[in-house]
Every structure is written in structure tokens, then in C-alpha cells.
Amino acid sequence: QVFRMADRYFPNATLLYNDDRRWWDFNGDYTPVYLLIRSLQEHGCRVGGLGLQFHMFDNFLHGEHESFLNPRTLFLCLDLYAKLGIPVNFSEVSIVSRRDLGDGDAFQELVTEKLYRLWFSHPAVSAVTWWNLVDGTAAYAPLGSEDGENSLRAGLVNYDFSPKPAFKVLEHLIKHEWHTETELDYEDGALNQFHGFYGMYEAEISTDSGTFSRTLELGRKNCNIFPLNLK
């Protein structure tokens, strides 16, 4: 009923099911979230994506890290949800740097890098959204305090906006490692191609007539063929 009503009043919106409970409880084709989405699809509901919340809250504190942080389980879940044929988003991510972990910042940095590499490597994953950007600003707690959810210290920057190690490791991955810069010499009549990460590119073409700039978008669903008219 909810999906049908949303589709009726918001026909151009992307409708997602966002799970915050047990998506990591893997049981093959009988995994509950998988069965739910399959049922919605079979009943004609327009499900445009699957959101997976990844908060290190009670599930981390009470021993569920054996599945919640297990790379094999995460890959099994992603392989299963990929069969639904819809984009998978890690819709809310909280990776803690709690003080009782010892060097909480180092823990957060390590886990952030490992998880982002895993998520980035899977073709079903289309987006990752970090939840609380700034420490000390979580819900239901005084600003700047370490009460409530703030005690998790799950931001990427400190309360004074200085970057934490996890911020720097993501900056390196996104701006350097998962970033493409290349040059090629044009050959008339040949297949002129390059391999790069999906995204927007600023192409600078130098000819005897001068230098031209063009914006290219390399996308998963694009044909990724770019005729260039330099006249």
C-alpha cells in the first residue's frame, strides 16, 4: 500500500526500501529483506533501490560484529541483493571512534578504509552516505557533548571541523586512488580509448588549430562513446 500510494502521488520519484534492522542476516534466497523486495516486485510495486543502514550501534556492542563486519557475509548479502536488479545504497553509515576502543580514531580509519574498499568493489553498490559528518552533532544529545549518540564519535570531522584520520583516508581514496588522469595521442581511423572510473571528465584536446575543452560523463549505463566536433 505504501509503495502504491507513493507511486500514485510521486510518479517521478525514486522509491527505495530502506532497511535498518536485519539486512545482514544472510540465509540465501530465504533472507528476509530479499524475500520482502521480491514480494513487492512480484506484486507490481515500483521499487527503485534498496537502502542498507550501517550503524555501529547496539549490534556492534553486543557481538553482532561477527556478521555485521564479516567481509564474507557482506559479499554474500550484496551478491544476493544484486539479483533484485535494483541499485543498492549504503544509505546511512556510522563507523565509531569511541574513546573506550583505545585509539578510537585509528579504529575508525582502519574500518572505514576496509569497508569502503569492499563496497566500492561490488557492482551492485551505487552510493554510500555517511550519517553524522561532525562529532558532537548527533540527534537527541546537546551540541558539543559526548552524551547519547555523540559518545560514538561517528563523525568524519571533529566538533571544531578539523578532519579526523577517517576523513583523510576517504579523501585519498576518492580524490587520488579512485581518480583517473591520462593522456593519449589521437590516431586517425583508430579506436582512441581510455579506461577510467565512472564520473565527469574535463577533456583537453590540443590540435594544430589550438586547444579545446569538453566535458565528458563516463557512466555505468552510458554507451561511453564520445564524438568530438572541434569546429
Which residue would you say has higher pLDDT here, 209 or 18?
A: 18
CATH class name, domain 2-177: alpha beta
Q: Is 82 left (phi over 0), alpha (psi -120 to 50) or beta?
A: alpha
Query: Could you report the per-residue pLDDT of 24-60, keeping only the tens digit for each?
Result: 999 999 999 999 999 999 999 999 999 999 998 865 6
pTM higher than 0.75: yes
Strand locations in the chain, DSSP E? 16-19, 49-55, 88-94, 125-130, 199-207, 210-218
Query: Could you report the per-residue pLDDT of 12-21, keeping only the tens digit for each?
Result: 999 999 998 7
Reference 84, options 137, 30, 54, 124; nearest CA is 124
List the Cα angle 162/165/171 in 5-degree steps. Answer: 90
| Residue 16: Cβ-neighbour burial (10 angstroms; 0-12, 13-18, 19+) | middle
Reference 26, options 70, 63, 59, 86; nearest CA is 70
The Cα–Cα gap between 17 and 227 comes to 39
| Phi and psi torsions of 63, nearest 5° | 90, 0
The Cα–Cα gap between 231 and 217 comes to 21
Query: Could you report the per-residue pLDDT of 104-157, keeping only the tens digit for each?
Result: 999 999 999 999 999 999 999 999 999 999 999 998 899 999 999 999 999 999
Q: What is the mean pLDDT of residues 204-215?
A: 88
Positions of CATH 3.20.20.80 in the chain: 2-177
The DSSP letter of residue 16 is E
Lowest mean pLDDT among 22-26, 126-130, 200-204, 220-224: 220-224
